[in-house]
Amino acid sequence: MANFQLRQFHFFKRETLQDLPSAFSQPEPLLASAGGDLLFVADSTGSIHIVNRTFIVKSFVATSDAAGTRITQMLHIHQARTLLTIEENVAMASSKPVIKLWPVDKLLRHPDVQPVTVKYQLPTSTPYPLTAVAATPTVNQIALGFAGGHIVLIRGNIPKSKSTKQRTLHKALEPVTNLHLVTDTSGTAVTLFATTTAQTLVFDTSSASGGKSDVGVLEERGCGIGCSQVSEDRELIVARDEAIYFYSVDGRGPCFAFDAPKVLLRRFKHYLLLATAAPSSMVASTEIDGSLLDTDSRVYSYNDATTFTILDTRNKLVAYTGVVSGGVRGVASEWGSVFVLGGHGSLDHFTEKELLEKLDILYRQNLYPLAVKMAQNGNYDAGSVAGIYRKYGDWLYGKDDFDSAMSQYILTIGYVEPSYVIRKYLDAQRLVNLAGYLQELHTMGMATSDHTTLLLNCYTKLRDEERLNRFIHTQENYQFDVDTAIYVCRQAGFYDQALYLADKFCKTEMYLKLRVEDQNDIRSALEYMRALGDADVSAYLAEFGRRCLASLPKETTELLVDVCIRGMDARVAKETENQEPASVDGLGIRAQSAVVPSAGSLSLRRIQHLFADQPAWLAAFLERIITVRWQKNPVENGIVEEEESDMKSAWNTLLELYLCGVESPLHELASSSDQQQRTPKERALELLRSPHASIDWDRAYILCASNNFAEGIALLYEQRGDVAALLELYIDVDDVHSIRELLATHGEKQPELYIKALHYFARNPQDKDNQRSLSECLETIEKHNIMSPLRVLQALGGSENSGVTLGMVRGFVTRQIDATAARIKDNERVIGSYTSEHELHHRQMHELKNSPVVFQSTKCSACMAPLDLPSVHFLCKHSYHQRCLGDVLESCPKCLVQNQVLEDQRARQEVGARKHDLFFDKLHKADDGFDVIAEWFSKNPFAFTKLVDQ
């Protein structure tokens, strides 16, 4: 009966080999091979033919010369390189089968090599045909099965016929059809599987009892001759008409349904090679050589056509099916191929198609699940398998089976570009599928930030808050871009989810943006910032401080104060630590001090812009900082360079706020109720008077001047000691009382103040105080000779606004005239004396040049001893011994000092005559320029002038 449950394919190429050696055309051939790169063919004449890959044949006679002797069974033991043959005389039913072992390598070299004949005893006196034989890879055990149901085990060094023992393992009621000796990987444990026509048995032949263990009945069903094999996993495979069964030592395992009358079973890789016959091929015989058979057992004729099937048990399909004319005489697998020997001497060669070729066949039939399975079993790499999943998904997508297609696309993650799948599911109706795919991408760690964005957009567009929460809250490794997830949740209005992620992953900036900008929850934002380190809170206050001040100015100001003060303390501590020498331990290693955390560089200069819209709270902030940090002597707290800059900025800014009329709203910052009642300008004056205030004078002056704060300007001038500028200020504001106090305090040290005061009083002489002040000014000017009378008179009457009368200055003018007359007389007297002296010197010089000089001195002017020759006489009438003068002969020693004074005076005059800049400077600064010119001419400056010819 045909099998319609399995899909049938042609995954093998069939080729009927031509021009075969004559060995294949012999009557009733047998075919055997089990590796070793050789095929063995036995014919009815008793010859065995060894065929290599190139089909070169070496033959030898394997039977005796007795008539009717032939090879009935043949087994190639690959590991031992031994060929086992069963020789029987079919003409004599009472003959004993002969078991021979042929060394294959020796046969290839010398075909006349004699075999080893295995000695054994028949289990009964009645001869039964030998229906099954098996051997271990090392040929230390051979199992024999007879048609009478006996199973005999031969143990020992069988190839050398030494120490062999024989034991009958079991006596069945039915003929033995198949035997298989299976060893484990170590080769120590040996299991014998046996089948009869009615039972499936198992024996442990590796026990110490020599195989005398209880028989294990796997199932009360058997199989025909040649219808069992051993799998790669050392399991017994039994082919029955309805199915193929797998057995382990523990019992029956899975089965493979394939309903067809089985003739032969062989194994090739993971394939099962089956020969099946049509029901017409059955022979109505129920006995073999007089032995009763089970009613389920049937014997098939080899003369009719046989169907040859290759089953892929791994992929559950028929890899090939075809008809072999004349029946199947033998099946062998060698050289990666399968050879089927037909009853008419034909040899069919089956080669497996390449995996790509087989997959192509499946693609054409849209059998993608089978293609995937085959690729996986064929050790295809994961990328290639993913390509099949992609094809399968595309096929399902083309049939509008979007859900099933997506299940296939998910299997391609990591190998197929995600954009290939995403583009197919961007339609709004397929967002659920797209979300599932994207979530798998994240689970496998293959997602990018774009994928996260798209997934969250899917959740938000679907308004699937439950899945969104599950995606966010149930992640273990969080294999997605957190920043992107927060951004998408924020954009979609899922603020709670965005806050959860920002808080969990310490995305402080994003958390604060959500609180401040999106939820306007300023109080929560401030509480969150208080829990941060100073460095972090400083950065975020700089960013969000203005929004916080607009909503909660008091709380924000308090936080800013705390952060700034802690930052200043930290900077001082760090500076102190850097200045301390590092300690040295006992090993001579310099120990490193603990690093003080940075304060985050949130200086006052970086904070003040936050209060651009809150000047009152800026004043409160600065007052608090100054009160806590700098109100006392700043040296006690320690100030580093950066803090010093902050301190100056704070004082100057607070002064500016006061001068602009800004008052702090925090009344508790004031130290007393009296301070609370003062005006901002009064506080500005107090600030300027504070000995601890570090205020820039120039800036303070500009602020006071721009706000017309005269009291502040006066205080600044006073602090700077600029009395002249202070006087100018009092004059500008017509503060006569302050002018008089200033003159009384500083007039003695700075008489020039009276000059400015004189000009001021001259403008308003009618005022009683001004008249008295004018008189005092004139007395002081006269007393200290500060101004020339001419300049005084010019100051008093040189202005159109002057109201000074002659009566107001009569006394001053009279005294100045009298003093001038007295000076004239003194000058005339001095002139007369200079004239007389000049005339005297002129006469002396004339006499020296034109009249002889008589030296009458008789004593030496140095030693006062009488003069003797040699002597030296000078024109000044001094005479000396030459020995008293020594080396000084140019000038008189007694007149030398006086002459040197004159020479120095002349040199100074010569140098001074060239200093024209000094002359003009004195001329500009002098009250009486004529005196300067007269003094300059008295020094005869032109005497040193040299005329240069042009």
pLDDT bin (cut points 50, 70, 90) of residue 927 is low
- Is residue 591 pLDDT above 60, yes or no? no
Task: Report which of residues 34 and 463 the model is more confident about.
Answer: 463
Q: Which range, 93-97, 629-633, 761-765, 804-808, has the best average confidence (pLDDT)?
A: 93-97
Query: What is the Cα–Cα distance from 16 to 672, expressed in whole angstroms?
Result: 120
**Taking a C-beta distance cutoff of 8 angstroms, is the pair 792, 755 a contact?**
no
- Is residue 492 pLDDT above 90, yes or no? no
- Is residue 309 pLDDT above 90, yes or no? yes
Question: What percent of the chain lies above the pLDDT cut of 90?
Answer: 15
- Is residue 14 pLDDT above 90, yes or no? yes
- In this prediction, residue 845 carries a pLDDT of 81
Q: Which range, 66-70, 174-178, 332-336, 932-936, has the best average confidence (pLDDT)?
A: 174-178
pLDDT tens digit string along 850-902?
888 777 788 888 888 888 888 888 878 788 888 888 776 678 888 878 888 87
pLDDT bin (cut points 50, 70, 90) of residue 911 is confident
pLDDT bin (cut points 50, 70, 90) of residue 156 is confident
Phi, psi angle pair for 206, to nearest 5°: -100, 5
> What would the two tokens of residue 804 be?
């000074």
pLDDT bin (cut points 50, 70, 90) of residue 595 is very low
In this structure, the number of other CB atoms found within 10 A of the CB of residue 337 comes to: 15
Calculated CA dihedral for residues 610, 614, 616, 621, nearest 10 degrees: -20
pLDDT tens digit string along 372-391?
988 888 888 888 899 999 99
Mean model confidence pLDDT for the chain: 79
Q: Which range, 93-107, 123-137, 396-410, 479-493, has the best average confidence (pLDDT)?
A: 396-410
- Is residue 295 pLDDT above 50, yes or no? no
Query: Helix 522-530 vs helix 553-579: angle between axes, to the nearest 10 degrees?
Result: 20
C-alpha 381 chain-centroid distance: 32
Mean pLDDT of 492-502: 85
- In this prediction, residue 208 carries a pLDDT of 53
Q: How deeply is 751 buried, as exposed, middle or buried, from its count of CB atoms within 10 A (0-12, 13-18, 19+)?
A: middle
Query: What is the Cα–Cα distance from 404 to 459, expressed in whole angstroms?
Result: 21
pTM assigned to the model? 0.56
Query: What is the Cα–Cα distance from 58 to 376, expressed in whole angstroms?
Result: 42
Query: What is the Cα–Cα distance from 59 to 361, expressed in whole angstroms?
Result: 43
**Taking a C-beta distance cutoff of 8 angstroms, is the pair 228, 237 a contact?**
yes
pLDDT bin (cut points 50, 70, 90) of residue 551 is confident
**Taking a C-beta distance cutoff of 8 angstroms, is the pair 154, 142 a contact?**
yes
The closest alpha carbon to 374, from 427, 426, 327, 312, belongs to: 312
Local structure of 500: helix, strand or coil: helix
- Is residue 794 pLDDT above 70, yes or no? no
- In this prediction, residue 149 carries a pLDDT of 92
> What would the two tokens of residue 672 be?
């007393």
- In this prediction, residue 812 carries a pLDDT of 73
Task: Report which of residues 829 and 847 the model is more confident about.
Answer: 829
858-879 burial, b at 16+ Cβ within 10 Å, e below that, comes to eebbbeeeebeeebbbbeeebb
- Is residue 664 pLDDT above 70, yes or no? yes
Local structure of 21: helix, strand or coil: coil
Handedness of CA 272, 273, 278, 283 (dihedral sign): negative
- In this prediction, residue 696 carries a pLDDT of 74
The closest alpha carbon to 719, from 747, 685, 744, belongs to: 685
- In this prediction, residue 479 carries a pLDDT of 62
pLDDT tens digit string along 702-757?
878 788 777 877 777 777 777 777 777 777 777 777 777 777 777 667 767 776 77
pLDDT tens digit string along 159-212?
887 778 888 999 999 999 999 999 988 778 899 999 999 999 999 988 655 545
Mean pLDDT of 898-926: 78
Question: What percent of the chain lies above the pLDDT cut of 70?
Answer: 80
- Is residue 586 pLDDT above 50, yes or no? no
- Is residue 553 pLDDT above 90, yes or no? no
Task: Report which of residues 630 and 508 the model is more confident about.
Answer: 508
Task: Report which of residues 297 and 63 the model is more confident about.
Answer: 63
